[in-house]
Amino acid sequence: MTENSFLRVTIDGQRLQGKPGMTLFELAREMGISIPHLCHEDSLHQAGGCGLCIVEEESTGRLVKACALPLREGLAVRLKSPAVDDERRANLLRMLQRHRIECAECAKEKICALRRYAQDYKVEFAGELALLPEHPSLPLFPAVKVPTLPLNDDNPFFQRDEQKCTGCGSCERLCPSFGRMSLADTRGDSSCNHCGICLNVCPTAALLEKNPASYAKKTP
């Protein structure tokens, strides 16, 4: 196979061709095929932290993350199957069990990716227990008792809420300094230069802009 050869891949019965070195997620994105995800950013190395891009290999039934699955000749996967859906629900539940649920009052209520996927996969929260009304065979994950953390409000441009963080790591991978900052380091005298790029990739309200008109977002 030459460097410019294409690999034949099948996604949900659709025959496609991709270049060597691509991941399944990248091919799907290029072809306009949607795969659930919270942590994928085109310009960053992929961490696979959210676990929502799980797919099923047809030949083995193995569940793998699309963002970490290199294309190979003859690869065939299913984006939807009972096993795939159950794994995505389980991963959503693990994130939600530590999430402070206050959707009605949340500034990102209408654009929260975590909430959208929870609705798509019919994952509900009631009191202390995550519920799957249509999938009673799945284990329920009791909400974890997490000490209430105050909002980090020291930064003049954005606030940080650790209890709404999904752990996707996008802000840390995108910002050259964010990954080295503790919760207290987002204040004005730290290495943060208030560019706002971390706000653009956060899938929840863990990072929120205080005043959209107070500064112009820069690009990396």
Q: What is the pLDDT of residues 137-151, one digit of tens each?
A: 444 444 445 556 677
Q: How confident is the model at residue 42, as a pLDDT?
A: 66
Q: What is the spatial distance between Cα 160 and Cα 80, in angstroms, rounded to a whole number?
A: 35
H-type alpha helices, the chain:
24-30, 82-96, 113-120, 170-174, 197-201
Give the pLDDT score at 109: 80
Domain boundaries, the chain: 7-80, 96-131, 158-209
Question: Quick one: pLDDT band at residue 63, thresholds 50, 70, 90?
Answer: very high
Q: E-strand spans in the chain? A: 7-11, 14-18, 54-57, 63-65, 75-78, 124-126, 129-131, 158-160, 207-209
Q: What is the pLDDT of residues 156-197, one digit of tens each?
A: 778 888 888 888 888 887 776 555 444 344 444 456 777 777
Taking 70 as the threshold, does the pLDDT of residue 207 lie above it?
yes
194 conformational bin, left if phi > 0, alpha if psi -120 to 50, beta if neither: left
136 phi/psi in degrees, rounded to 5? -65, -15
Is the model more confident about 143 or about 43? 43
Given a cut of 60, whether residue 96 has pLDDT beyond it is yes
Quick check: 39 pLDDT over 70?
A: yes
pLDDT band at 78 (very low <50, low <70, confident <90, very high): very high
Of the pLDDT bands very low, low, confident and very high (cuts 50, 70, 90), residue 112 is confident
pLDDT for position 182:
43
pLDDT confidence of residue 115: 86
CATH architecture of 7-80: Roll (3.10)
Q: Which band of pLDDT confidence, cut at 50, 70 and 90, is reported for residue 102?
A: confident
Residue range 9-18, pLDDT digits in tens? 999 999 999 9
- Model-level pTM? 0.74
Percentage, residues of the chain above pLDDT 90: 31
